[in-house]
Amino acid sequence: MSEPKVFLLPDLGEGLTEAELVNWLVAVGDEIRVDQPIAEVETAKSMVEVPSPYAGTVAVLHGEPGQTLDVGKPLISVTPIGAAAGPPKAAAAEPADTADVAAEVYREEEKAGSGNVLIGYGTPGGHGVARRTRPRKSSAGTAVVEPVAPVPAAEKAADDLLLMRTRVPGKLGAVISPLVRRMARDHGVDLGELQGSGASGLIMRRDVEAVIKPPVVERPEAEPVESTPAAPVPTTGDTDTRTGLGITGRTAVRGVRKAVAANMARSRSEIPEATVWVDVDATALVEMRAALKKSDPHHTPGLLAFIARFVTAGLKKFPELNTRIVTTEDTAGGTSQEIVAFDGVNLGFAAQTDRGLMVPSVRNADKLSARELDAEIRRLTAVVRDGKASPAELGSGTFTLNNYGVFGVDGSAAIINHPEVGILGVGRIIDKPWVVNGELAVRKVTELTLTFDHRVCDGGTAGGFLRYVADAIENPGSALADM
């Protein structure tokens, strides 16, 4: 009987290390084909359908909906077409055996320099070439790795020799994976002091994790969930030791909420932010849009699109706010920083969805008209609310526009969307008393709030940008004539 092929959860092309299993699209015993979607998983950025690189009969589903799976761990086992279906040996193996198989496959992929965007996509007949993220060091590997196939003795010896060559005497152990090296560097772990648990002393991810955090008790199997965010888990009899109050539920922080929490915490800890704000008379802009809508009710841009156009023009005049701070290691072992400027503006905008706060970005927004911006904003809003946004649509912004006025509030001390250096907030537009030509009048007033990274510019630049956008809102006809 042919051994089942074990498909490991791939790197979804986003640099992420885990994903939440939302829903299985197949069941044990189903016949599947190459590239058929088998599961829906939620990463920190989007919902993704994972296709199978194998054709055959589903033998084992390695996980339950609601469970968080690590990249490189078994996702599904498939018995090849023509093989007799039956309980696979892999399913009967001890958990340690499964872990060893997964570790061996991950080792093979790292040795080959695998950078698969998503195993199975665009692979007619189940074959494809791995996309590499660094220069080739040896012959190219294929996109699909057979995790249960025995490794020939000659190849094993070559692997051992390669492992020995990765050692730097007195400094590094045998470690090939860039993920493991980065994890060790981020947590200050000296790889030279570790004894690898993998073949030929290979230092695995689990070896580094054992140093940076103590072993944890295995979590009980998660209950299936229909959608995110996760619902609170009711608890009875628990009392909070700090407040003395009863605990009514516990909600796991995962998926989009986990990503948002990590990014916001990083932003606040790394960026020395400052905030400036100004009240703006938006009456002229509201009246101009009303006149346009009267003449062309179906193709008139929204107010946000006009403001977005003013923002992109302002970033051209004050390019310091359309940059990024990059920290690199220098030759002396320290760090150095540089400000990276961009030829163009990818304008992100905050969109509230059922999955949480998302920030898709309009690429090359500075080259679009207000009408084109309006169409793209509407398209991206629909995409993120359907959970279908791509990593490029969610992670390529250079500046963010946040319309929190839709929540009925006037202002906000916004948190910068790391690694950007600025975010402009727009409050609600309401009737307020305003002095016009020495006379008190009722006008349409809003508040603009700019939070910026003080490392890239000073208050003069931030104030100049904010004033430019405010003046454009107050005199939209004149501003648009110059754009």
Among residues 202, 277, 306, the alpha carbon closest in space to that of 427 is found at: 277
First to last CA, the chain: 70
SS3 370: helix
Alpha helices in 37-138 (DSSP H): 89-92, 95-111
The CA distance from 350 to 414, in Å, is 11
Contacts for 155 with CB less than 8 Å, ≥ 6 apart: none
Sign of CA dihedral 297, 302, 308, 313: positive
∠ CA 134-138-144, nearest 5°, is 80
Contacts for 341 with CB less than 8 Å, ≥ 6 apart: 319, 322, 323
The CA distance from 351 to 356, in Å, is 9
Contacts for 482 with CB less than 8 Å, ≥ 6 apart: none
The CA distance from 447 to 89, in Å, is 65
Is residue 307 within 8 Å of residue 477, measured between CB atoms? Answer: no
Tally of residues, the chain: 483
Is residue 468 within 8 Å of residue 318, measured between CB atoms? Answer: yes
Peptide bond into 229 cis (omega under 30): yes
Give the number of other CB atoms < 10 A from CB of residue 329. 10
CA distances from 284 to 55, 157, 253, 443 (A): 62, 76, 44, 9
Q: Residue 111 gets which letter from DSSP?
A: H
**Strand partners for 19:** 69
The CA distance from 308 to 368, in Å, is 10
Q: Which residues are catalytic?
A: 454
Sign of CA dihedral 225, 231, 232, 234: negative
The CA distance from 465 to 401, in Å, is 13
